[in-house]
Amino acid sequence: MKTILLVGIGTGNPEHVTIQAINALNRADVLLIPDKGEAKGELVQLRRDIVARYVVNPASRVVEFAPPVRDPATPGYTERVADWHGELARQFGQLLAQHVAEDGVAAFLVWGDPGLYDSSIRIFERLSTDAPHAYGLEIIPGITSIQALTAAHGIALNRIGEPVHITTGRQLALGDRHGDTLVMLDGQTAFTGLDDDLDIFWGAYLGTADELLIAGRLADVAERIVEARRLARERHGWIMDTYLLRERG
């Protein structure tokens, strides 16, 4: 049986990598690094830096691969994602067949934590359904962008005894806000469509040397965030940002 380690590496700071993650990376014969193209080259480099800094196992090899992208021609978000997962599962199956011995160990370096808005666990479940007993899966938790955001702003995620709702920009734009709401994957600045009296705690490139933070009353800082995003995107070619919306008072 091949062992697959899904290793959470944190969200941009090599010091986010836990000792459990370092030990897992050193157990692997093969370290699999996704390369999403030149625009996101900084993210590949960060993974390479993590390997260079922490992996001392002389027998391990790095394999970089270009994951497929979602096909914009497929109608419907759910169908598009399902098709994409199918393609990723096929690619992961091929990579494991090609590079990992029958009793070998492969580690995937997963951004943040593998359990938060990441498809790796679902893709490996799919692989295991297609080939029962072929793979053993272990998940190594990582620091998430949520933790990086609240720590950077010096705030607690929840208020005393209160829940926090976690959603995406796409869902927020459809009205999905319930009390304090943490928003991820928002390429469309969905916060600009809100009229409620809220505070926003926004962060981009959290954990990296380029970290950006803005906080304040949403009505006062929304435009500043939109402009900061635009400039940063122009400079880097990509942006990842996350924010907490907190009801005032």
Ligand X SMILES: C[S@@+](CC[C@H](N)C(=O)[O-])C[C@H]1O[C@@H](n2cnc3c(N)ncnc32)[C@H](O)[C@@H]1O
Taking the C-alpha atoms of residue 30 and residue 32, their distance in angstroms, rounded to an integer, is 6
Among 2, 4, 6, 11, binds ligand X (CB under 6 A): 11
CB of 99 to ligand X, least distance (A): 24
Distances (CA, A) of 228 to 15, 85, 203, 232: 26, 33, 10, 6
| Under rule CB under 6 A, residue 184 binds ligand X | yes
Among 43, 44, 116, 157, binds ligand X (CB under 6 A): 116
Range in contact with ligand X (rule: CB under 6 A) among 64-72, 105-113, 157-165, 220-228: 105-113
Among 7, 46, 144, 202, binds ligand X (CB under 6 A): 144
Pick 22 or 43: Cβ nearer ligand X: 43
| Under rule CB under 6 A, residue 150 binds ligand X | no
Task: Find the binding residues for ligand X in span 190-229 (CB under 6 A).
Answer: 203-207
Residue nearest to ligand X (CB): 112
Range in contact with ligand X (rule: CB under 6 A) among 92-100, 123-131, 154-162, 234-242: 234-242
Contact 199/220 with Cβ under 8 angstroms? no
Q: Give the residues lining the site for ligand X (CB under 6 A).
A: 11-12, 111-113, 116-118, 144-145, 184-185, 203-207, 240-242
